[in-house]
């Protein structure tokens, strides 16, 4: 690693795969080799301070305990807020307060945050400021292909984007960007230069994570950013061969590694083991690239860890609570990718149907993972109906409508920008929301379980823009009797939001951020569901798994005490046929409860 010839290293991957640990470990390894290194994070839930055990803020400072390493944390929320202020400040006294609030909410999505962050860290790549005095600049969290494509468009620098009341907008008035068009062009060209930039795509040895890594690799490869490496983190190797769970986990990981997506097979890759300790502090970061040090720390951690057991109510008990006082309602599983929300939605729907309730299970998951789970079951309860809303179809319909409305009189570059702007995640959520509004209305007669729900930003965008809720309320003389989909989601008696997380720090923080987002929209989650918990299991003897189970306790207690009103859990299941295994395990729980 220390022989890397590129100046800029980008670490990208979905939440919880360990990209921060690997970015920090790489920075430490290169600093130890004598290079002057700057580590830059743009993660909104950044834990650089915890991982490095050194103060990290929005000013470049040396990292404690090591020479040659400096770190800075670009807070994307602060960057986005500054961006929104620059957009709306000229409108003070010209536009109404309601209009300004609408513009601010339009610019509250993930795309705006990412572009504002990119605006901030582009200076480190351009070499115009502090970035020029470092041998290597390492970025924890790379920009998405959507952001990079958008910033390349010449029309993105025109003024017509100032007003876009009906479409999902993520860029807004470009005059608010501090960096100029020329700088962005230079930055993107540097990212394409294989002699200057390397992209490290970080994944776990599981299907969902590898699929996301495959998509990311393909997306940035299409943009001409071809210098890529694959890091597969957390690969488990059993120590105690008598532990059947440990053996199953190892076998499943090996199976996934032998069948990784084709485009990832073309990349140079390296695997990193699942360790019995959290990677915190300079010495433990060094251990990721130093095998002997890794073995020494591992043995010490294993020798000092004691058994730990966490008692969480099961998904069966969650289902009982959901139907305790009613026979209908809307249940949504929400969470970041890879945490298990599709499994949770499928299990809740099946368990409700087995109780005799009429249940509609619907998904907006573009990968249609629900069908994969349902196919594992064979025979389904007669009261269970399954539907799928195709996000691509719904989004295309929505995009065609907006392009027809907003594209009149524009040249090809203007239309190109609208199309690119409409490729944002916000657009798909808005389009899909319109489609499953019909399913929401069914929740008054039966249970409707939805996988992949809209974020709080999307709900507020719909509400403040008047694209659905306010238009109905304003134009209908019987508005007082109407209940729009947005109002239905705000009704805690009708709608129950289940936040799904893993018992790990990063997924917990991401779910906590999602909860805050929902609360801005007036929606309070009903419960948290913690998936893949080792600490819920008895009989673990493998030292690494015991240590990992012990590490979960602090995270679960934080969820209980800081975030969740109610907390439930799904134990770690080392089976390919996850849904049948989970449903079967609930029978065992029910029998033990009766006895």
51-81 pLDDT, tens digit each = 899 998 888 999 999 999 999 988 877 888 8
Contact between 141 and 105 under an 8 Å Cβ cutoff? The reply is no
**Whole-number mean pLDDT of the chain?**
82
Confidence grade of residue 457 (pLDDT, cut at 50, 70, 90) = low
Helix (H) or strand (E) holding 100, with range, is helix 97-106
Kindly report, residue by residue over 188-204, the tens digit of the pLDDT. Answer: 889 899 999 999 999 99
Contact between 362 and 447 under an 8 Å Cβ cutoff? The reply is no
Per-residue HEC secondary structure of 266-318 comes to CCEEEEEECCCCCCCCHHHHHHCCCHHHHHHHHHHHHHHCCCCCCCCECHHHH
Question: E strands, 92-227, where?
Answer: 136-140, 197-204
**Radius of gyration of the chain from Cα atoms?**
25
Q: What is the pLDDT of residue 95?
A: 81
Boundaries of every domain in the chain: 8-76+115-163+171-304, 315-390+445-594
Q: What is the pLDDT of residue 161?
A: 38
Which of 239-243, 405-409, 559-563 shows the lowest mean pLDDT across its residues?
A: 405-409
Q: What is the pLDDT of residue 455?
A: 63
The superfamily (CATH) of domain 8-76+115-163+171-304 is P-loop containing nucleotide triphosphate hydrolases (3.40.50.300)
Contact between 358 and 448 under an 8 Å Cβ cutoff? The reply is no
Q: What is the pLDDT of residue 533?
A: 95
Q: What is the pLDDT of residue 28?
A: 96
Confidence grade of residue 595 (pLDDT, cut at 50, 70, 90) = very low
Q: What is the pLDDT of residue 163?
A: 44
CA angle 319, 321, 322 (to 5 degrees): 65
Kindly report, residue by residue over 334-385, the tens digit of the pLDDT. Answer: 887 778 888 999 999 999 999 999 999 988 765 557 777 888 888 889 999 9
Mean pLDDT, rounded, for 528-546:
92
Kindly report, residue by residue over 89-108, the tens digit of the pLDDT. Answer: 888 888 888 888 777 777 77
More confident residue, 489 or 566: 566
Q: What is the pLDDT of residue 465?
A: 41
Contact between 40 and 138 under an 8 Å Cβ cutoff? The reply is yes
Q: What is the pLDDT of residue 425?
A: 64
More confident residue, 223 or 588: 223
Mean pLDDT, rounded, for 254-283:
91
Confidence grade of residue 42 (pLDDT, cut at 50, 70, 90) = confident
Confidence grade of residue 131 (pLDDT, cut at 50, 70, 90) = low
Confidence grade of residue 567 (pLDDT, cut at 50, 70, 90) = very high
Kindly report, residue by residue over 396-433, the tens digit of the pLDDT. Answer: 887 888 788 777 777 777 777 777 777 766 677 677 77
Kindly report, residue by residue over 302-346, the tens digit of the pLDDT. Answer: 776 666 677 899 999 999 999 998 999 999 998 877 788 889 999
More confident residue, 555 or 153: 555
- Whether pLDDT at 224 is above 70: yes
What residues pair up with 450 in beta bridges, in sequence order? Answer: 332, 362
- Whether pLDDT at 480 is above 50: no
Instruction: Tell me the catalytic residues.
Output: 16, 18-21, 43, 506
Domain 315-390+445-594: which CATH number of 3.20.20.30, 3.30.420.240, 1.10.10.10, 3.40.50.300: 3.40.50.300
Kindly report, residue by residue over 137-171, the tens digit of the pLDDT. Answer: 999 876 766 667 666 655 555 443 344 434 445 55
pTM: 0.77
**Fold match, 8-76+115-163+171-304 / 315-390+445-594:** yes
Mean pLDDT, rounded, for 534-555:
90
């Amino acid at each position: 690693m220390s022989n890397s010839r590129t100046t800029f290293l980008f670490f990208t991957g979905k939440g919880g795969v360990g990209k921060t640990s690997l970015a920090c470990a790489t920075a430490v390894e290169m600093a130890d080799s004598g290079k002057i290194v700057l580590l830059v994070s743009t993660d909104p839930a950044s834990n650089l301070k915890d991982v490095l055990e050194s103060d990290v803020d929005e000013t470049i400072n040396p990292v404690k305990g090591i020479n040659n390493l400096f770190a800075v944390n670009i807070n994307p929320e602060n960057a986005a807020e500054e961006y929104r202020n620059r957009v709306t400040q000229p409108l003070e006294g010209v536009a109404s307060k309601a209009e300004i609030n609408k513009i601010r909410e339009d610019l509250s999505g993930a795309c705006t945050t990412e572009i504002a962050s990119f605006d901030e860290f582009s200076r480190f790549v351009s070499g115009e400021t502090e970035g020029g005095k470092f041998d290597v600049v390492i970025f924890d969290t790379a920009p998405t292909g959507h952001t990079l494509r958008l910033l390349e468009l010449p029309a993105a620098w025109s003024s017509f984007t100032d007003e876009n009341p009906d479409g999902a907008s993520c860029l807004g008035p470009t005059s608010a960007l501090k960096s100029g068009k020329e700088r962005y062009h230079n930055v993107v060209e540097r990212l394409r230069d294989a002699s200057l930039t390397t992209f490290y795509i970080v994944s776990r040895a599981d299907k969902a994570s590898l699929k996301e890594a495959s998509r990311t690799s393909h997306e940035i490869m299409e943009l001409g950013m071809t210098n890529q490496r694959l890091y597969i983190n957390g690969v488990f190797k059993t120590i105690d061969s008598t532990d059947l769970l440990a053996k199953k986990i190892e076998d499943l990981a090996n199976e996934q590694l032998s069948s990784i997506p084709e485009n990832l097979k073309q990349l140079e890759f390296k695997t990193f083991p699942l360790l019995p300790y959290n990677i915190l502090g300079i010495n433990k970061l060094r251990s990721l690239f130093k095998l002997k040090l890794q073995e020494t720390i591992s043995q010490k951690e294993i020798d000092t860890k004691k058994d730990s057991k966490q008692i969480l109510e099961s998904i069966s008990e969650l289902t009982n609570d959901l139907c305790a006082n009613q026979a209908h309602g809307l249940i949504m599983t929400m969470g970041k990718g890879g945490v298990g929300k599709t499994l949770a939605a499928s299990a809740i729907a099946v368990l409700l149907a087995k109780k005799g309730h009429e249940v509609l299970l619907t998904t907006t998951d573009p990968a249609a993972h629900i069908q994969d789970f349902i196919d594992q079951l064979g025979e389904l309860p007669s009261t269970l109906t399954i539907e799928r809303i195709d996000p691509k179809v719904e989004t295309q319909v929505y995009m065609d409508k907006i392009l027809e409305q907003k594209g009149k009189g524009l040249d090809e570059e203007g239309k190109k920008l609208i199309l690119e702007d409409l490729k944002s995640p916000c657009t798909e959520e808005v389009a899909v929301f319109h489609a499953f509004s019909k399913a929401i209305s069914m929740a008054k007669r039966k249970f409707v379980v939805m996988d992949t729900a809209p974020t709080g930003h999307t709900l507020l965008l719909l509400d403040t823009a008047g694209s659905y809720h306010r238009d109905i309320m304003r134009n209908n003389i019987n508005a007082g009797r109407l209940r729009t989909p947005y109002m239905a989601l705000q009704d805690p008696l009708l709608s129950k939001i289940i936040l799904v997380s893993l018992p790990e720090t990063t997924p917990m923080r991401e779910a906590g951020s999602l909860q805050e987002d929902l609360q801005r929209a007036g929606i309070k989650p009903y419960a948290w569901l913690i998936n893949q918990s080792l600490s819920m299991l008895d009989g673990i003897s493998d030292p690494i798994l015991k240590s990992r189970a012990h590490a979960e306790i602090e995270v679960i207690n934080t969820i209980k005490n800081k975030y969740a009103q109610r907390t439930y859990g799904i134990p770690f299941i080392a089976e390919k046929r996850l849904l049948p295994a989970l449903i079967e395990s609930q029978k065992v729980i029910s029998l033990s409860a009766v006895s």
